Amino acid sequence: MLDMLIKTFTQGDVAGYKSSLLHSSFWSQHNTKMFGEDKLTSVPLTWLMSAGRCQVIQSLVVRQANISVIHLKLKIQEHDLPINYTFWLHNNGEVIKSVYAIVDTLQLSIAKNIHVDEITLSLPEPDPLVIPDYDQQDNLQGEFATPSCLIIKPCSLNVLLDAWWTIWSSSQLSNIDDVYAEEFDVSLPGVFQQKSSSDMFEFVLSIKSKLTRVFCQLEEVVIEGNNAAVKWFIDADELGQKIRLPLMTILNTNGEQITSEITTCDIIAFNKRHHHSSLFE
Amino acid sequence: MQQNNVTQVYWKDLPELMSPQGKPSQSLKNFDPEFIDIVDYIIRITHRIWEQKNIALCNDYYAKYCPVHTLGGYSDDVATVIKNTLLTLAAFPDRTLIGENVVWRDLGENSGYYSSHRITSIMTNKNPSEFGAATGKSGRVTTIADCVCYENKIVYEWLMRDNSFLVKQLGISLIDAATHFANLPTNDSFEVWRAQEITRIKAGQATSHQWHTPLDDSSEKFAQLWVNTLFNKKSFGEVKSFYHKNAKLQWPGGIEAVGIPGIRGVFIQWLAQSPEASATCDHISVVPFEDDTTDIAIRWSVAGTFSPKNELFSKYSGQCFFIMAATHLRIINGKISEEWTVFDEVAAYANMIRDYNNSDAKQGIE
C-alpha cells in the first residue's frame, strides 16, 4: 500500500492506484466523500495539478488488522517546505475499501506560494453536514471513548495514550510535560517543524480558547509496536454555530513517552465548510 | 451468528460480482439457474437495469403486479417502475449504483426471500427532476431498497432514499425541493395507504406484512428493543447500551455523529420535531458479516404530529408527521459499531405541505 501511494501521489501511477480500488471503494478528503471511478481518479490528478511532482522525504506506516495508516511528508520540486499527507486506509492487503485522507492544504499553500483563495476554489464542495446539538458533558456516565477503551488487546501504551488524550479531551495541559520526551519532534497543522512542548501547549490553547462547548471524540486507534495512530475530531460551538474539525495524529513513543507527533488537519477545507469560523485566523 | 456461504459483497469487485464462480448456496426455487443466491440475484439485476441501462429487464425481474411504496408515492404495476427508472436516468444520465450491502432473510419456500439492499448512487443532474430544474451538479445519495423476491421476480418493494442529502448537494434547499415535490400529482392509492399507515403506527399495530421464518433470536430482540427504547420510550440514557463508544451513525440530510453524546443528540433533536410520535418495527433481517460481526436491517415507521424547530416549516405545525425508514446496523460483540439510516425527508415534508395546502386551515387563512 505504501509503494502504491508513493507511486500514485509522486509519479502519477494512476493505473496502479485504480487496480488497488474496488468498485465500491470511497475516498474521503477535504470533507468530501468520493465514490466511483471518475471521482476517485480525480484525487491523485488534482493533487498532482496542485503540487506537481514531489519527493517523499519521510514515510511512516502504522498497521493493525485491516487498517493501515500511512503518513507521507512530501517535498515539492524547487520548494523546500514539506507538506503532510496522512492516509487512513481500510484494506485487506490486496485492495482498499475506504480511505480517509487529510492533506495539510495550508502547508501546500505556503510551500507553493499559492494564495489560500486559489486553493479554496480548487477544493471540492464539502458534503452537507448536520451536527445535531448535544450535551457534551459526561454527567458521571463514563460514556466517553478513551484510547484504552478502544484498544482491544492488552497494550503497554494504554496509560501513555490515555494521558495524551486528556490534553485534548480534558484540556489537561500540564500532562504535556509528562507525556512528551524532553526532546521530541512535533509537526502541527499549517506549521512547520516545531521542537518544544511550549509549541504544543500554545497549539492546544489556541484552539480551545476560541471555542465553547468543546468535545473531542475518538474514532479509531491503531497500535503497532511503540507507535500509535489516532483518528479523531473536535466538535464545538463557535459564534453560536457548530463546527467539526477532523484530525489524524501519529505518535511515536519510546514506550514511556512520546518522541514524535504528527498531527494533520485540513485547515483550508475546514474554512471552506465553516465560512463563519475564525478558528485559524 | 453462524457464517454461511451466501455472497458477501464487501470485499468483492464488480467483475467478480458479475461473474460469480461459486456453487449455489441457496435453493432459489424457480429463479433463473444463473443466480447462486439472493445477494447475487439482487446485485446482478440491479447492475443490468441501472448501469447497463436495460430498463426493459424490469419486465423480467418485476412481477406485473408489484406494489412499490415510497414516502412520496405508490405504484403497483411494472410499467410505472419502468417509467420512473427512465425518468430518473434522463434526469441523472450517469447514475451509477454501488451496492454496499445486502441483508437478506429466507421467507420460506412459498414466499421467497426478503432483501434489504443498501446502495450508494452517484449521479449528475443534467435534466429536470422531481426536485426542480436541472442544476448540472453532481451528488451522491444512499438508498435502501427492501424487496420481496419470489420466483425470479420482485413482487413487493419499499424504497427509501436520502433525497435531502442529494438536494443539498444540488444546491436546492430542502423546503424548495419539498414544495416542488408537493405540487406534483399524487394518487388516491398512495393517500389511502399513507392514512392507513399513520393510523396503524399511532395505534402501535404490527404491519400486515409478516413472515414467520426464524431469525437469530438475540438480533431480533436487539432490533425490537432499539426501536422501542429509543423511538417509543425515548430512553436516551440507554443509547450507551446499544452503541459502542466510537460508533458511527449516518442519518438523512448529512447528519453524522460518532460516539454516545453525539448519537444521543441525533435522536433527541430528530424526535423533538414530533415529541409524541410512535414507532413500529416493521421488518427485521439478520445476516452474519465477518468474525464477531452481524448485520441487521430494520424497516421501521414513525407517525405523530409535526412540531417544527425550523422556522421555515413553522406554518406546517400540527400536520401529520409520517416517516417510512430503513436502518442498517453493523453489530460487533453485541453493540452497534456503525449505523446507516435512510428515509426521504423531502417527501416527508412534501406530504405535510400538501396536507396543509389541502386543509381547511389554509383556506381560512387565504
A2-122 and A147-273, same CATH topology = yes
Query: In order along chain A (281 residues), what is the average pLDDT of each group of 10 residues?
Result: 93 95 98 96 95 94 96 89 96 96 95 94 96 92 95 90 97 95 89 75 92 97 96 96 97 95 96 95 84
**Measured between alpha carbons, how far is B196 from A192 in angstroms, rounded to an integer?**
64
Single residue among B153, B186, B219 that ends a domain in this structure = B186
Please name the residues in contact with B207: beta carbons below 8 A apart, sequence gap of 6 or more.
B200, B280, B282, B283, B301
CATH number at residue B113: 3.10.450.50
Residues B284, B359, single domain; the answer is: yes
- B3 inside domain: no
HSE, CB side, 13 Å, CA atoms: give it for residue A279. 34
Residues B283, B172, single domain; the answer is: no
pLDDT at B2: 75
ipTM: 0.96
HSE, CB side, 13 Å, CA atoms: give it for residue B281. 19
Residue B36 confidence class, pLDDT cut points 50, 70, 90: very high
Task: Answer yes or no: is pLDDT of B18 > 90.
Answer: yes
Single residue among B137, B167, B186 that ends a domain in this structure = B186
Residues B262, B358, single domain; the answer is: yes
Q: Mark out the alpha helices in A130-175 (DSSP H runs).
A: 147-150, 158-169
Considering only alpha carbons, which residue of chain A is nearest residue B141?
A35
Q: Mark out the alpha helices in chain B (DSSP H runs).
A: 14-18, 38-46, 58-61, 78-91, 163-169, 174-182, 188-202, 217-226, 239-242, 260-271, 345-357, 360-365
pLDDT at A79: 81
- B149 inside domain: yes
Nearest by CB to residue A24, choosing from B100, B237, B262, is B100
Considering only alpha carbons, which residue of chain B is nearest residue A146?
B245
* Cβ–Cβ under 8 Å, residues B159 and B75: no
**Measured between alpha carbons, how far is B266 from B281 in angstroms, rounded to an integer?**
19
**Measured between alpha carbons, how far is A81 from A100 in angstroms, rounded to an integer?**
24
In this structure, whether the domain defined by A147-273 belongs to CATH 3.10.450.50 is answered with yes
Task: Answer yes or no: is pLDDT of B14 > 50.
Answer: yes
pLDDT at B279: 98
- Residues of B within 8 A of A24 (CB-CB) are 9-10, 98-100, 120
Q: Domain spans of chain A?
A: 2-122, 147-273
pLDDT at A15: 96
Edge-to-edge strand ranges of the sheet holding B243-251: B255-258, B243-251, B335-342, B320-332, B293-305, B278-288
Nearest-neighbour CA in chain A from B316: distance (Å): 22
Distances in Å between the Cα of A106 and the Cα atoms of A30, A269, A281 are 12, 9, 12
Within a 10 A sphere around the Cβ of A205, how many other Cβ atoms?
Answer: 12
Decide: helix, strand or coil at residue A15: helix
Single residue among B186, B210, B236 that ends a domain in this structure = B186
Which residues of A lie inside 8 Å of B (Cβ-Cβ)?
Answer: 22-24, 26, 33, 35-36, 39, 92, 95, 97, 125, 127-136, 141, 143-145, 149-150, 215, 217-220, 233, 235
Window 96-115 of B, Cβ < 8 Å to A? 96, 98-100
Nearest-neighbour CA in chain B from A30: distance (Å): 15
Average pLDDT over residues B121-139: 93
- Residues of B within 8 A of A169 (CB-CB) are none
How does A137-159 read in b/e, with b if 16+ C-beta sit within 10 Å? Answer: eeeeeebbbbbebbbeeeeebee
Pairing of strands A227-238, A21-29: unpaired
Q: Give the count of domains, chain B.
A: 2
DSSP state of A170: S
CB-based contact A217 B259, cutoff 8 Å: yes
Nearest-neighbour CA in chain A from B121: distance (Å): 9
**Measured between alpha carbons, how far is A9 from B314 in angstroms, rounded to an integer?**
50
Averaged confidence pLDDT in chain B: 95
Fold of A2-122: Nuclear Transport Factor 2; Chain: A, (3.10.450)
Q: Which three cell numbers stand for residue A43?
A: 484525487
* Cβ–Cβ under 8 Å, residues A215 and B257: no
What range defines the domain where residue B127 resides? 14-186
Nearest-neighbour CA in chain A from B351: distance (Å): 23
Residues B172, B59, single domain; the answer is: yes
Residues B199, B339, single domain; the answer is: yes
Question: Is B10 part of the contact surface with chain A (CB cutoff 8 Å)?
Answer: yes
**Measured between alpha carbons, how far is A165 from A149 in angstroms, rounded to an integer?**
12
Angle at A94 between CA A153 and CA B340, to 5 degrees: 65
HSE, CB side, 13 Å, CA atoms: give it for residue B157. 27
Within a 10 A sphere around the Cβ of A128, how many other Cβ atoms?
Answer: 18
- Residues of B within 8 A of A33 (CB-CB) are 140
Task: Answer yes or no: is pLDDT of B119 > 90.
Answer: yes
pLDDT at B361: 58
Considering only alpha carbons, which residue of chain B is nearest residue A66?
B11
CB-based contact A135 B266, cutoff 8 Å: no
pLDDT at B365: 44
* Cβ–Cβ under 8 Å, residues B127 and B309: no
